[in-house]
Amino acid sequence: MKYEWKKQEKDLYGVKQNPALITVPIQNYIMISGKGSPNNEDFSNRVAALYSLAYAVKMGYKLAAAKGGIFSDISDFAVYPLEGVWRKQKQRDGLVKEELEYTIMIRQPDFITENMVCTALENVKKKKPNPWYEEIRFDTMADGKCIEMLHIGTFDDEPASFEKMARFAKQNGLKRGESCHREIYLNNPTRVEQSKLKTILRFSVT
């Protein structure tokens, strides 16, 4: 059986275009941090390193399952989408992309262990060298209670969606927990028209 997050985790990824309250459980990720604009080459290089490792983990698991080394009925899985946690280095009005801090990540299924990731990392270093592999780490994150909504359109138009989320929070007596927010990119900005981009937006609340 192939594990597919789109089908089996609709509660987390089947997000609508209206704000909603959700509790996000602890999740495993491979992740890398950086600073600056997402339009910079440095950001693209970090994304490329993450994806190379993510697919190496997937192929390593699939090969082990085919050889009978996995004691599970799951023989393969779909790679999760890219995510990013973003915060401003300086808290002021407006957005200066060069002043952003971020951690980008790709979620790993619960049945993928840190040892599996380390093995895949050693293999991909040999087959597809990238200096950014050294900065990738395996870790967990627990967002807890969050407000989320699906944003359709360009990244620069996200403030309008965040305003809707802020109004929803106020109407429900909730306060934003942190200044940072999470974005989950459901399609590839290099292959889809900007007006059709689908991004899940989340921020924690108390």
Q: Determine the Cα–Cα distance for residues 180 and 164; give it in Å rounded to an integer.
A: 17
Q: Which residue has the tokens 């950014």?
A: 132
Q: Determine the Cα–Cα distance for residues 128 and 143; give it in Å rounded to an integer.
A: 33
- Burial label for 74, CB within 10 Å (0-12, 13-18, 19+), is middle
| Token pair for 73 | 């009925």
Per-residue pLDDT band for 28 (boundaries 50, 70, 90) equals: very high
Q: For position 51, what pLDDT does the model report?
A: 97
Give the ranges where the chain is alpha helix by DSSP (H).
5-8, 10-13, 41-66, 114-127, 158-171
Q: What order do you get walking across the sheet with 137-141 strand by strand?
A: 20-24, 144-152, 198-204, 181-185, 82-88, 100-108, 27-35, 137-141
Q: Which residue has the tokens 């509790």?
A: 23
Q: For position 24, what pLDDT does the model report?
A: 96
Which of the 8 DSSP states describes residue 187? S
Q: Determine the Cα–Cα distance for residues 154 and 175; give it in Å rounded to an integer.
A: 26
Per-residue pLDDT band for 201 (boundaries 50, 70, 90) equals: very high
Q: Determine the Cα–Cα distance for residues 135 and 46; give it in Å rounded to an integer.
A: 9
Mean pLDDT along residues 140-146: 95
How do residues 56-111 score in pLDDT, each as one tens digit?
A: 999 999 999 988 888 789 999 999 999 999 998 776 667 788 889 999 999 999 99
pTM equals: 0.94
pLDDT above 90 coverage of the chain, percent: 84
Asked if residue 29 has pLDDT above 70, the reply is yes
Q: For position 126, what pLDDT does the model report?
A: 92
Question: In this structure, is the dihedral angle defined by the CA atoms of residues 169, 170, 172 and 178, taken in order, positive or negative?
Answer: positive
Q: For position 92, what pLDDT does the model report?
A: 65
Q: For position 68, what pLDDT does the model report?
A: 85
> Are 74 and 111 within 8 A, CB to CB?
yes
> Are 168 and 38 within 8 A, CB to CB?
no
